[in-house]
Amino acid sequence: MIFISELKYTGKHAEIIRKFSKAKNTSEETSKLTFNSYDGLAIKNQELILFDTYFNGLVISALIGLKKNHKVKMDSNSSIIPASIFTDILFKNASLLTRIFQFIYLIENKPNNDEKIKKAFNYDYSSSEVNFFMEEILQYSCAGLEFINDQLIKVNTLEDVILAINKILND
């Protein structure tokens, strides 16, 4: 699978993925979501991190968007620094991205079953098909990120976090 360029989240979607990810670049720091937890001695304010990497955030949020069958166009606010997933990360994880492409194709397209299966499991995708599928994944991911953000924005305690994550997974 050929990835022509890095993948970029822009606008509010860049802010959301940064909010729930470990930031590796201090210039990309953004306000993190925090909640109160009790460690037996005192109440402490803890940072809520859902994703180790932006790539993990892409996969999880895309699957949530796909599960909810909802896509959102990425916000294009250029005043917000983009959050990027570099091409080498995409190459290293091509098999996982291919599997997500297949899920999308099987869910969205309506040809007969033989055609659908043959096309979904054709591993010889053209660069235009890869670009199309990456755009689809991003749209599902943006929807998933917005859903995650909506559920977790109002958490105050560890119990709230657990209930919100349960709602995300079971809704």
Phi, psi (deg, nearest 5) at residue 101: -55, -45
- 159, two tokens: 């119990």
- pLDDT tens-place string over residues 126-163: 777 778 888 989 999 999 999 999 998 888 887 888 88
Q: Which residues make Cβ contacts (< 8 Å) with residue 41, sequence separation at least 6?
A: none
Query: Is 84 part of any domain?
Result: yes
The SS3 call for residue 21 is: strand
Q: Is residue 136 part of a domain?
A: yes
2 within domain boundaries: no
Residue 17 resides in a domain: yes
Q: How confident is the model at residue 73 (pLDDT cuts 50, 70, 90)?
A: very high
Strand partners, 21: 51
63's tokens: 């699957």
Domain presence at residue 1:
no
Average per-residue pLDDT for the chain? 82
Query: Structure tokens of 41?
Result: 């001695």
Q: How far apart are CA 89 and CA 55, in angstroms?
A: 8
**Using one digit for the tens of pLDDT, what is the confidence trace for 84-140?**
999 899 889 988 988 888 888 777 766 667 777 777 777 666 777 778 888 989 999
Range of the domain at 164: 7-170
Domain count along the chain: 1
The reported pTM is: 0.82
In a domain, 65, yes or no: yes
